[in-house]
Structure 1
Amino acid sequence: MIWLVIILLLLSILLYLLLVPIIVVIDTINNTYYLELKGLAKASVIEDNIEVLKIKMRILFFKFYMYPLKKMAIKKSKKTKVLKPKNERFINSKNLKRVLRVIKSFNIKKFYMNLDTGDYAANAKLYPVFSFLNFYKATNCNVNFVGENNVQLIIQNRPVRIIKSFINL
């Protein structure tokens, strides 16, 4: 009986980890930028006065900060490795298709863009393009002439969809 409870508990944890939403938020209006595994972890990019930016990590109940732009201590290596030039292409068609399938597995929940290029003629040329995008897609793209540039983007995915995109050819 105890084994059955343990197995069911492990299966429920595995199912939760496969179905937990992964959310990426980029919001220049409120200056919030984060990647979140709903209920498990969250990594936020925050402006810092001393350093340029810091990353606030929250994993379950623990919080800690990382400073990615802080200089690391340089370790001198005694041996240097000679790198051989690779004859393979960096991007082959199989890897490119796999990357495109992973990108297509993401869902855009919200997209808002308010753009001013600073040039009245360029703004006028962008106006029909943004009208076309707003009509046929679920986006909200605006052109303004007052100097405001804003983006709000919320993207969501689940680990099971990412794994499925790797498995399916």
Structure 2
Amino acid sequence: MLIVAILIGLLLILLLGLLFTPFIVKVNTRQNQYQLRWGIARVQFIPEKDDGRLMVQLAFWKREFSLLQMLAKPSAKKAAQPQKPNVQRRKKARTLSFHRLWKILRSFRMPFFYLDLDSDDFVTNAYWYPVCRALSTPTRQLRINFGGHNQCAFELRNRAVDVLIALIF
């Protein structure tokens, strides 16, 4: 009985940890950093010249996969099965309303956003320069450059409990 109570307690702690641990999406094009973190798990995309690698890390376990090899594997062919006529009525699919989707999107937090943009047209850059200057804040930096390089960096944060609250209420 005590072992069952301990297992239920550990399962409850793990579930609460997953609900309240933030998941973080980080993108930085200047440093080629693209990663998703949630608690002790991390998935990172590492771009290379001819291929890309996907690094998966869970606590002390770490594994890298080549995206080209993963996508080039032939899929197992399934034998054609005769389709059975569906006599039962199909259940009506629940759609996500715009209001609920908006609440979910608002639950995400963006601590910083950095965009350095060049449209390769001097006139267009000149028009966009005051707009980006006016929209910039200390945590949101929008810049127009005339040097021909584009960069973007941002971080998105959310928790599973915030998404559930947005879905329920």
Offset of 1:48 from its aligned partner? Answer: 3.5
Residue 87 of structure 1 corresponds to none
Q: Which contiguous aligned blocks of 4+ residues in structure 1 show a shift greater than 4 angstroms? A: 1-5
Q: Does residue 110 of structure 1 match 2:112?
A: yes
Offset of 1:151 from its aligned partner? Answer: 0.6
Offset of 1:80 from its aligned partner? Answer: 6.2
Q: 1:156 to 1:81 in 2, by over 3 A?
A: farther
Q: 1:97 to 1:67 in 2, by over 3 A?
A: farther
- SS of 1:141 mapped into structure 2: strand
Residue 146 of structure 1 corresponds to 147
- SS of 1:78 mapped into structure 2: coil
Q: Does residue 26 of structure 1 match 2:2?
A: no
CA distance in 2, matches of 1:110, 1:72: 39
Residue 43 of structure 1 corresponds to 43
Offset of 1:9 from its aligned partner? Answer: 3.9
Residue 86 of structure 1 corresponds to none
Residue 75 of structure 1 corresponds to 76
Offset of 1:16 from its aligned partner? Answer: 1.7
Q: Deviations over 1:61-98 (max 9, x none)?
A: 1111233343121333331677xxxxxxx995x44433
- SS of 1:110 mapped into structure 2: strand
- SS of 1:126 mapped into structure 2: helix
Q: 1:53 to 1:131 in 2, by over 3 A?
A: same
CA distance in 1, matches of 2:82, 2:43: 35
Offset of 1:148 from its aligned partner? Answer: 2.1
Paired residues in the alignment total 157
CA distance in 1, matches of 2:82, 2:119: 48
- SS of 1:127 mapped into structure 2: helix
| TM-score of the superposed pair, with normalisation by structure 1 | 0.79
Of residues 135, 151, 158, the one that matches 1:133 is 135
Alignment of 1:154-169 (within 5 A): 154-168=155-169
The aligned amino acid for 1:34 is: Q
| TM-score of the superposed pair, with normalisation by structure 2 | 0.79
5+ residue gaps, structure 2, are 84-92
Please, what is the CA RMSD of the aligned residues? Answer: 2.8
Offset of 1:147 from its aligned partner? Answer: 1.5
CA distance in 2, matches of 1:79, 1:4: 45
